[in-house]
């Protein structure tokens, strides 16, 4: 299995704050995500600015596209994103249209797993060549104050078995990484933890755990 | 039943084009929608500019919020939107958080009906006080080249019976309006048709049909 990447989500409502939060840990990151909040707050201009400042990182634009996928995918990739996210709730033909534009621009589509998606959906995404999805810790788990449920882990394993690499997010901490060692992990996504005063040491802890299990 | 409103969706990738398309028909409109494309292209600044230019229209920001709903709802309403859209794929607690912020700002939430939503979901939305949803002509119907299927109409009727007012969209033309006369319609949404050279006469035709059936 390839080594999971470390991804930071920038979810500030302005670019200055976002840049401040990423600057200290940027060298420890593989992927920088322009979160939905920042993308709406400042438009795809935020993607262009992140690309300009970080030319060598993978940049994701977290649009959670649900419709108008060809235009939105092009908007994100033209601005400098490598990957763009599409909602699992989008119609299969909407997802196919996004994939086509991504292929034309050497970009990749990531499916955001929200709503009542099924494994049949996941196989259809994989069959059209989509190999990435984003798995969020369930809101129910979050609300119940538990970290990762057996149900989450079982769903991740099934997606992994289909062939889909997962980017995992939702209050994830380095000590949890061992839970996912059987799963095809594309990246671990953190936000506030990496933006904190302990950001650098937390990033280092992520990399230590990644090296241990992959 | 209250009279359906006429809504224009602005889906250009820049504000100038959007303003050009709306200026001729603005007097015929009740609702102006900052579409997802425009909202990502120019950020919520586009909402502020539309609000500034059209202080008396209802303004919708079509964010299709799926997560981070409190912050995104506030972003849209602070910029001047009256209504903001939330994806049916969002977790029920995510939707509740959006509703709470909307209530604090005298705004309203509209559910965007994408993905495998259920009538049980719809009742849960209605039970928390959400009375609006957006119904898109199914992509399957669109791809098959048919206008509105019996399945679409039956689903709309069931949502209407739950108490949810629908904004209806997807290549809708004035001659189709009679199809929806039994349904609680909040608005009819058109985009390109209203932006065309015949935009004013098409808008008038919408209002004539609305007056005929409601």
Contacts of B200 (CB under 8 A, 6+ apart): B24, B25, B28
pLDDT grade, residue A106 (50/70/90)? very high
User: Are the beta carbons of A86 and A69 closer than 8 angstroms?
Assistant: yes
Please tell me the predicted confidence (pLDDT) of residue A51.
98
In the numeric block, the tokens 């690309």 are attached to: A51
Q: Is the pLDDT of residue B164 over 80?
A: yes
Q: Which residues of A touch B (CB under 8 A)?
A: 11, 13, 35-37, 39-46, 63-64, 66-68, 71-72, 75-76, 87-91, 93-94, 112, 114-118, 136, 139-140, 143
The pLDDT tens digits of the residues spanning B53-77 come to 999 999 999 999 999 999 999 999 9
pLDDT, tens digit (0-9, with 9 covering 90-100), for B113-147: 999 999 999 999 999 999 999 999 877 777 777 78
Q: Average pLDDT, whole number, for chain A?
A: 95
Structure tokens at B196: 């065309």
Q: Which residue, among A66, A93, A139, would best test binding to B if mutated, counting the most B CBs under 10 Å from its CB? A: A66
Q: What is the average per-residue pLDDT within A58-76?
A: 97
The pLDDT value given to residue B143: 75
Q: What is residue A163's DSSP assignment?
A: T
pLDDT at A133 over 80: yes
Q: Is the pLDDT of residue A98 over 90?
A: yes
Q: What is the pLDDT of residues B20-61, one digit of tens each?
A: 999 999 999 999 999 999 999 999 999 999 999 999 999 999
Q: Say if residue B1's pLDDT is above 70.
A: no
Which residue do the tokens 């607690």 mark? B93
Residue A145 has pLDDT above 80, yes or no: no
- Assign A104 a pLDDT band (cuts: 50, 70, 90): very high
pLDDT above 90 (res B2): no
Local confidence band at A142 (pLDDT 50, 70, 90 cut-offs): confident
pLDDT at A172 > cutoff 80: yes
Residues of chain B by 3-state class (helix, strand, coil), percent to 5: 50, 20, 30
Name the residue with tokens 């602070």. B78
Quote the mean pLDDT of chain B: 95
**What whole-number distance in Å separates Cα of residue B111 and Cα of residue B121?**
11
ipTM score here? 0.96
φ/ψ bin of B32: left (φ > 0), alpha (ψ from -120 to 50), beta (otherwise):
beta
Tokens standing for residue B61: 């920001």
Q: Which of A13, A40, A139 sits opposite B63 (nearest CB)?
A: A40
Nearest CA among A195, A13, A143 for reference residue B97: A143
pLDDT of residue B139: 72
pLDDT at site A1: 66
Indicate which residues of A carry an active-site annotation.
36-37, 64, 67-68, 72, 112, 136, 139
Query: Are B41 and A43 in contact, with CB atoms under 8 Å apart?
Result: yes
Residues of B with catalytic function: 36-37, 64, 67-68, 72, 112, 136, 139
**Contact check, Cβ <8 Å, B40/A37:** no
DSSP category for residue A145: T
Domain ranges of chain A: 5-213
Task: List the one residue out of B70, B21, B18 whose CA is nearest residue B40.
Answer: B18
Terminal alpha carbon distance of chain B: 7
Closest CA in chain B for residue A11: B68
CATH class of the domain whose range is A5-213: alpha beta
Residue appearing with tokens 């004013």: B200
**Residue A143: what pLDDT?**
75
Task: Quick: pLDDT tens for B90-104.
Answer: 999 999 999 999 999
Report how far residue B163's alpha carbon sits from residue B145's, in angstroms, rounded to the nearest whole number: 30
């Amino acid at each position: 299995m390839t080594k999971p990447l470390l991804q930071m989500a920038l979810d500030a409502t302005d670019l200055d704050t976002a840049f401040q939060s990423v600057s200290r840990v940027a060298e420890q990151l593989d992927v920088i995500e322009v979160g939905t909040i920042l993308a709406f707050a400042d438009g795809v201009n935020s993607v262009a600015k992140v690309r300009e400042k970080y030319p060598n990182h993978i940049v994701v634009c977290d649009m959670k596209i649900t419709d108008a996928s060809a235009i939105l995918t092009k908007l994100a990739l033209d601005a400098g994103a490598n990957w763009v996210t599409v909602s699992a709730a989008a119609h299969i033909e909407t997802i196919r249209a996004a994939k086509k534009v991504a292929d034309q621009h050497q970009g990749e589509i990531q499916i955001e797993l929200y709503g009542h998606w099924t494994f049949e959906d996941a196989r259809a995404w994989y069959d059209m060549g989509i190999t990435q999805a984003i798995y969020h810790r369930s809101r129910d788990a979050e609300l119940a104050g538990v970290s990762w449920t057996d149900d989450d882990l079982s769903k991740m394993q099934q997606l992994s078995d289909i062939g889909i690499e997962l980017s995992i997010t939702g209050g994830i901490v380095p000590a949890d990484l061992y839970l996912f060692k059987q799963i095809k992990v594309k990246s671990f996504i953190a936000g506030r933890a990496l933006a904190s005063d302990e950001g650098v040491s937390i990033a280092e802890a992520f990399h230590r755990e990644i090296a241990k299990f992959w």
